[in-house]
Amino acid sequence: MRIDHTHEPDCRSWVPDATGHKTFPLQNLPMGVLDEGGGRIVVAIGDYVLDVQAALDLGYLSALDHAAQTALRSSRLNGWMQLDAPARLQVRHALFELLKQESPAQRHQLQILRERNDSLMRLPADIGDYTDFYCGIHHAVKAGSLFRPDNPLLPNYKHLPIAYHGRSSSIVPSGQPVCRPRGQVERENGPELQLSERMDFELELGVWVGPGTSQGTSVSLEQAENHIAGYSLFNDWSARDIQAWEYRPLGPFQGKNFASTLSPWVITADALAPFRRSAMQRAKDDPPLLDYLKSSQDQAHGGLDIHLDVHVSTALMRTQNLEACTISNSHAQHLYWTPAQMLTQHTVGGCNLRSGDLMATGTISTPDDSGNGSLLELTKGGSTPITLSSGEQRTFLEDGDEVIFTAYCARDDLYSIGFGECRARVVE
Ligand code: MN
């Protein structure tokens, strides 16, 4: 997690308007895949994308070794994720050289740059497996207290990052509509099969697994960061009425498996180096960590300094040309466990990971009501509606509602970078 010349606040790019861009300046360089010809790796820079294959064809990035060049010519980012951390850093350095001011690549602008249109992006990687954690402690407390007022956190919560294994094949790219699921819902006279009436979002970060691990081996906390390639925004759509009836004793099933939405850009671990922070301070009466989850380095720098916001746009708001309204301002500092602890926990029993596997953090909420990461919390279990900028009220999502997550990192002494959007509309 080193800071180097690619994080200098005053470095400049030859790409028009990229220097000082609030979301995708030269210091960010997020990776994604354009949905064209089966998939084409691109890098966001300002309001443009760099077509990496076109740059390679012109002889740029030739200082990279063969494995890295092959990975960048692929139709998915799995190969790039598989590179070890030093090799991924070399890719960042090479891209930075190509896009910085006075690079000879500028004269090939027409061949290697395209206008950025995030609606043309596909999922960045083939996701082999997906695991959803539950690391947002304020969400765990608030959601838990709706079900167990006296005992919101179960006894395991502060001993290990807990998770369930989700379904990777129903993860869809940002922009694709999400169908309201049908499922069994508990009713006074017995369960009925119906469309969910309590459709919700969950504000989460996706954590991309870099180099994989073999079955029977585990990753120490000291090594875990090397196995994380980057981060995206993740919406773990949740049908609360279906979930409430089915979840005991085995956990989420139909209430979650119909769809999850992922933002198109992978913000690399290297881009986030200046935006790391201490892990959440454990309270004095919290239980001691077992040694394999404890490291002073991880406690000092393993946290993430990422602002996370939720916006909603309804069908009525769009007909009235109203902007989406912001309903939540949260922050990744509210994760009780670090991404490194999640990855270490995932492998401690010998479970293998593959490059392009996705871990999600769990819903990230603030302790107060300013940054609730789900409607379940915003509306106190559906009992207190919220009022939107159009005057409409919501307890849960209605058809036509569009949920948009955005995120950014900012330091007064440096610059800001953004994550782009995780956006999807609920349809019947
Ligand atoms: Mn979740």
Note whether 162 and 41 are same-domain residues.
no
pLDDT in tens, 342-371: 999 999 999 999 999 999 999 999 999 999
Single residue among 122, 144, 163 that ends a domain in this structure: 122
**pLDDT, mean over the chain:** 97
pLDDT of residue 1 exceeding 80, the answer is: no
Grade residue 148 by pLDDT with cuts at 50, 70 and 90: confident
Average pLDDT of the segment spanning 219-242: 98
What phi-psi label fits residue 314: left (phi over 0), alpha (psi between -120 and 50 degrees) or beta?
Answer: beta
Average pLDDT of the segment spanning 84-110: 98
Compute, in angstroms, the gap from residue 134 CA to the centroid of ligand 1: 7
Compute, in angstroms, the gap from residue 55 CA to the centroid of ligand 1: 38
Q: How far is Cα 288 from Cα 140, in angstroms, rounded to an integer?
A: 20
Residue 149 is predicted with a pLDDT of 87
Single residue among 90, 122, 154 that ends a domain in this structure: 122
Note whether 156 and 88 are same-domain residues.
no
Note whether 147 and 163 are same-domain residues.
yes
Compute, in angstroms, the gap from residue 203 CA to the centroid of ligand 1: 8
We report the CATH number of the domain holding residue 71 as 2.30.30.230
Peptide bond into 249 cis (omega under 30): yes
Compute, in angstroms, the gap from residue 207 CA to the centroid of ligand 1: 13
Report the amino acid identity of residue 142.
K
Which of 94-98, 143-147, 321-325, 406-410 is least confident?
143-147
Residue 418 is predicted with a pLDDT of 98
Please count the structural domains in the chain.
Answer: 2
* Cβ atoms 401, 386 nearer than 8 A: no
Residue 147 is predicted with a pLDDT of 78
Grade residue 393 by pLDDT with cuts at 50, 70 and 90: very high
pLDDT in tens, 198-214: 999 999 999 999 999 99
Range of the domain at 46: 5-122
Note whether 177 and 229 are same-domain residues.
yes
We report the CATH number of the domain holding residue 357 as 3.90.850.10
Report the amino acid identity of residue 55.
A
Grade residue 321 by pLDDT with cuts at 50, 70 and 90: very high
Compute, in angstroms, the gap from residue 92 CA to the centroid of ligand 1: 31
pLDDT of residue 282 exceeding 90, the answer is: yes
**CA nearest neighbour of 228 among 160, 158, 304:** 304
Note whether 70 and 161 are same-domain residues.
no
Note whether 47 and 63 are same-domain residues.
yes
Q: How far is Cα 267 from Cα 283, in angstroms, rounded to an integer?
A: 31
**CA nearest neighbour of 269 among 62, 39, 55, 84:** 84
- Collapse the DSSP code of 167 into the 3-class scheme (helix H, G, I; strand E, B; otherwise coil) and give the result: coil
**The tokens of 330 are what?**
């949260």
The catalytic position among 138, 139, 227, 334 is 139
Q: How far is Cα 98 from Cα 202, in angstroms, rounded to an integer?
A: 38
pTM, full prediction = 0.98
Note whether 60 and 189 are same-domain residues.
no
Note whether 41 and 141 are same-domain residues.
no
Residue 151 is predicted with a pLDDT of 87
Query: How many C-beta atoms surround the C-beta of residue 242 within 10 A?
Result: 29
Note whether 227 and 168 are same-domain residues.
yes
Residue 30 is predicted with a pLDDT of 98
Residue 211 is predicted with a pLDDT of 98
pLDDT of residue 238 exceeding 90, the answer is: yes
Grade residue 413 by pLDDT with cuts at 50, 70 and 90: very high
Compute, in angstroms, the gap from residue 271 CA to the centroid of ligand 1: 25
**CA nearest neighbour of 293 among 136, 162, 165, 166:** 162
Note whether 154 and 29 are same-domain residues.
no
Q: Work out whether the CA dihedral 173, 174, 177, 182 comes out positive or negative.
A: positive
pLDDT of residue 114 exceeding 90, the answer is: yes
* Cβ atoms 124, 266 nearer than 8 A: yes
pLDDT in tens, 2-45: 899 999 999 999 999 999 999 999 999 999 999 999 999 999 99
Q: How far is Cα 366 from Cα 351, in angstroms, rounded to an integer?
A: 32
**Whether residue 139 lies in the annotated active site:** yes
Kindly state the percentage of the chain with pLDDT values over 70. 100
- Give Cα 375 distance to the centre of its chain: 19
Residue 347 phi, psi dihedral angles, 5° rounding = -100, -5
Single residue among 104, 122, 140 that ends a domain in this structure: 122
Q: How far is Cα 193 from Cα 146, in angstroms, rounded to an integer?
A: 24
- According to DSSP, the residues that pair with 308 across neighbouring strands are 330, 407
Note whether 236 and 312 are same-domain residues.
yes
pLDDT of residue 165 exceeding 90, the answer is: yes
**The tokens of 253 are what?**
């099933």
Q: How far is Cα 212 from Cα 210, in angstroms, rounded to an integer?
A: 6
Residue 169 is predicted with a pLDDT of 98
Q: How far is Cα 99 from Cα 93, in angstroms, rounded to an integer?
A: 10
The arrangement of strands across the sheet holding 40-45 comes to 113-115, 48-51, 40-45, 31-34, 121-122
* Cβ atoms 363, 332 nearer than 8 A: no
**The tokens of 168 are what?**
């990777």
Note whether 208 and 312 are same-domain residues.
yes
Compute, in angstroms, the gap from residue 380 CA to the centroid of ligand 1: 17
Residue 153 is predicted with a pLDDT of 94
